[in-house]
Amino acid sequence: MRYIFLIIVLLTSYSTGAFQVKPMVAELESSGSQSQQTIRISNPSDSPLTIEISAFDLLIDPNGDETLKANDDDFLIIPMTTIIPSGQSQSVIVRYIGEPILENSKAYRVAIDQASVDLEKAGQSGVGMSVSFRTLFNVVPKGAEAKLLIKNKRQVDTETWSVLLENTGNKYIRLSQAQWLIKGDEQQLLLEGAELSKALTGKILLPKSSREVSIKIPTRFNAASSDLEVNF
């Protein structure tokens, strides 16, 4: 019996047993020397690795669901396909060549895909694994600023809040990189870093958009009687 599994890796990791990708997050300018990023792909396995790289527009609806739309026009990627020998690395240049004058920052996923293995043609049986990394690229106009509003918060269960956020600015916000300060009756809690990332469902808020996120909050804090600040 032959199977091929696809594993998609987002921001929580940059490494699997198959290959490694750095960086997983990048911020570019819309023109000039800062409009380019080099991605380093390493192959620690004992077999050659065939990689394909492509770019997608990243759209996020108010419920936090992501939609990816293929975009071959906004980036020059060199090389778009490559074979990395065992134990070696490959540098990939990703250069933004889209609209140079932007009103708002734009978010993209740059996908690094391991080419699927055809086990039938290879005459092999067992389990095949195809790994795909989805890196986050943001192209930001000079002088762009994010402006965050907390529109609403409500208690979902004893340890979970639902928070409605709006970004009225023209730059994205990485919510998991902020500081979330909860203030209750004579007590407060600061969530940041790895602890915040683990507690929070939504990681990014695009410009001129709103979305609802869930966050795990200890039972001693109630959404109705506590104050919330998000600083970034």
Residue 127 has pLDDT above 50, yes or no: no
**Matching fold, domains 2-140 and 148-231:** yes
The pLDDT value recorded for residue 229 is 98
Closest CA to 173 of 104, 83, 102, 96: 104
And the tokens for 86? 């065992």
What pLDDT, in 10s, does the model give residues 16-44?
A: 557 999 999 999 999 999 999 999 999 99
Closest CA to 78 of 51, 100, 108: 51
Long-range contacts from 67-74, C-beta under 8 angstroms, 24+ separation? 68/109, 71/108, 73/97, 73/98, 74/98, 74/99, 74/106, 74/108, 74/139
The reply to whether CATH 3.40.50.720 applies to domain 2-140 is: no
Question: What type of residue is 31?
Answer: S
The CATH-assigned architecture of domain 148-231 is Sandwich (2.60)
Planar angle of CA 216, 221, 223, nearest 5 degrees: 80
Q: Do residues 81 and 110 touch, judged by C-beta distance below 8 A?
A: no
Question: From CA 13, how far away is CA 55, in angstroms rounded?
Answer: 19
Residue 148 has pLDDT above 70, yes or no: yes
Domain ranges within the chain, ordered by starting residue: 2-140, 148-231
The pLDDT value recorded for residue 11 is 44
